[in-house]
Structures are given as structure tokens and as C-alpha cells.
Amino acid sequence: MKGERGESAISYVAVSLLLAGVVAAVVSVAGLDDQVLRSVSCSVAKIASEKCDVPDAPPVSGGPRAGSTPPPLDADGYWDLLCRQQQFHCDDWDPSRGLSCNDHNVVTVYRYYADLYLRNPELQWAGMASLAGGLVYGGMQDLHVLRKMSRDAREEVLRQRFPMMPNELIAAIAGATEAELEFFEDKFVAMHKQIFRDLGWQHLAYDRGGIQEIRRLADEGQIPRATLEAWEDIASGDPRRVSRGNEALLYREQKTILQDDYDEMKNHHGLLGLAVTYMMGQTSESPIPGGRPFRDVVNELATVDLPDQICLTPWGPCQSIPVDDITLRAPIATGNIATFDSRWKWISEDMLPRYQELLRTDPDRIRREVRRQPGDRAAEGRLIPIGYDPKDGVC
């Protein structure tokens, strides 16, 4: 009987190993990776032995291990997940190294916004951020190449490209050091990251779990109450509320997240900060198809109140005037884009209404624009006729 049991055991092991080999071949043909292959082979081999282990091998399904449920994510958890999904190295994302050393992150973020909108049309803020990304990315590129130019070359380009700018402002930019101009480039990269850090992970949470996940995060204090209200509007399905909720996120971005950075830029090194931020406004085109540039919206000189009617003599004849007042406008910007009231006037009176109109009447046009690569839109908006190379080594 002992010999029979021994032969039976040997046969059992042989069959088990043969079965393991067959399973391995099938798994290999199916294209699964080596780690999964070892796990499946080991599981079959355990029929004959309890000593086969594959440390840290993931389950075949790719989901959580049996009997375990992953803990819900908080803001930091979503941020880490977002960075992994976008293949970022968050710890190495250093805006002080400028555009070229962060170019991959900048472009990837704008593509992320585009993907969000294309999957979830109610995420209008993400769609608008993607469109604006081309304008901002082009501006970053201009600052990047401008700071590397000599003073004479810089002044020549500025006078050619911006003939309406006052001489004092052109001289301030032309005479700035590379380090002084680098401040503005780095600041824009930092602002880009701040927006993504604040709203990017919230969009990921909504994309994964909808409004229920946003509510959970708000209940845990991870999302401000006012921002929760914006998300409730976005998820409502009511077109007016959806627009209102996205506008609230846009207001938060511009007022709460970015305004202190704009103030720093405007006040940087006296006249230089004023010159750079004025130039940005004077040259900023609308990222929305058919929208007006900043200089055509924020260009008031004065408002004149008009009488109800004009009479040629005290006794008549008289002509009624159908308007209460008229606004005198300049051919250049009279406000600074770094000032919140001026920037929000441009957004709220032209950019946002035009965007929402297109969403209602021609959403396919918006989708086509959102699908375009950030680099292509940036190239169209470039103002400095010098090529930008993200591998130029200026970090």
C-alpha cells in the first residue's frame, strides 16, 4: 500500500505540473504579463505542494484582494491617483524650473481637461480650460523665448509686434534681466499647477463617482460648501444650473486661486510688472471662437449721460434719444488683465457668454476645438516670432 500511495502521489504531482504547463501556455497566448502567469501557475502547482508562493502578486482581475475593500480617497489620495494616471512625478513638479522643464506636465494637464469635457459635457469648466490652455501655453512660450533674447533684439521685436504700447513700457521690458523675466514665466507655470491642484482632483472624483462622491468629500471637509453647491448645479441636468455651477468654478479659479499671483506679477519690480501685465492684456485674444480680445472689451475711456431729447431751439423741434448714455472707447486696452475686475469683465461680458452660446447652438464646434492639440493652438496665438523648443535646456 505504501508503494501504491507513493506512485499515486508521483502521478498526482505529474498531472498537476502538466496542468500548470497547459494553463501557462493559455495565459501566455492570452497576452497576460509574467506576474499574472506566475500567479496562475503557482496556484495550480499548490495542488501538489503548499510551498509555492508569489509575493505581492496582484489578483488576475486587477481589483482588490478577496475580502478587502479599498478605503475611500481623500483630497490627497485623489491628487496622488491623478498624478499617477497622468504619469506625473508630482514631487518633481517644480514650477521654479520654468516652462521647458515642465512642458510635459503643462501639455498633459490641458489634454486631461479636454478628455474630461469630451466624456462629460456638463463639465464646461474643463472644456473652457482646455480652450484657454492654447492661449496660456502660447504666452508661456513667448515669455520663455523673450527672456533669452538680447536687449536690442528684445526691443526690436517689441516695437514691431506691439506698436501701440507706450515707449516707457517697452523700454522696461527690453531692459529687464533674464532673471527678472524668468519670474513671470515661472509664475505662470506655478499658476497652472495651482489650478490643477485645486480643481483637477475634484474633477477626477466626479468623473469616478459622480455627485455622490463629491458629497462624501464635502461631508468630510475636503471640499468647501460653496464649491459643493457649484457641483450640485453641474450635476443637476438643468442647463441653467449647469452653466451657473461651471461659472462658479471659473470665478473660484480666477478670484480665489489666481488673484494673489496676478497681484505679485503686476507689482513685480515696479514698472516692469506693470509693463508685462499690460502687454499680456493688450495682446490677449479670446480663446473662444468668435470671441473678442481683451483690448476690445476693457477699453472704456468715459461714459457720457445723455438727455432724454435734443432740441434745436428752446421751442423745438426736438428729437428723442433712445439711449441713456454712451461709452467712449479707446483703440487699446484701458485696463490691466492682472486686475481682477478688468479680467472678470472680459470673461463675464464676452468670453463666457460666447462660450455658453456655442455650447447651446454649435456644440460640435466646441468639441472640435477641444480635440485639437494644445501645441497647435499655442502656435496660432504666438506673438514672438522665435521658435520654442521644450528641450532647449533652459530650466
The whole-number pLDDT of residue 395 equals 60
How buried is residue 49: exposed, middle or buried, by Cβ count under 10 Å (0-12/13-18/19+)?
A: exposed
Q: Is the dihedral of CA 296, 299, 304, 305 positive or negative?
A: positive
CA-based angle 177:266:107, to the nearest 5?
75
The whole-number pLDDT of residue 321 equals 77
Virtual torsion, Cα 57, 64, 202, 284, nearest 10 deg: 40
The whole-number pLDDT of residue 43 equals 38
- C-alpha to C-alpha distance for 230 and 224, rounded to whole angstroms: 10
Structural contact between residues 82 and 115, judged by C-beta atoms closer than 8 angstroms: no
Amino acid at residue number 325: D
- C-alpha to C-alpha distance for 244 and 233, rounded to whole angstroms: 7
The whole-number pLDDT of residue 393 equals 66
Write out residues in the chain with pLDDT < 70, as ranges.
Answer: 1-70, 306, 393-395
- C-alpha to C-alpha distance for 288 and 269, rounded to whole angstroms: 33
The whole-number pLDDT of residue 311 equals 81
Q: Is the dihedral of CA 67, 73, 78, 83 positive or negative?
A: negative
Structural contact between residues 44 and 20, judged by C-beta atoms closer than 8 angstroms: yes
- C-alpha to C-alpha distance for 263 and 47, rounded to whole angstroms: 70
For strands 300-305 and 309-311, give the pairing: unpaired
- Terminal Cα-to-Cα distance of the chain (whole angstroms): 78
The whole-number pLDDT of residue 163 equals 87
pTM over 0.95: no
The position carrying cell 524668468 is 182
- C-alpha to C-alpha distance for 97 and 106, rounded to whole angstroms: 13
- C-alpha to C-alpha distance for 203 and 24, rounded to whole angstroms: 41
**Cell representation of residue 198:** 485645486
The whole-number pLDDT of residue 317 equals 81
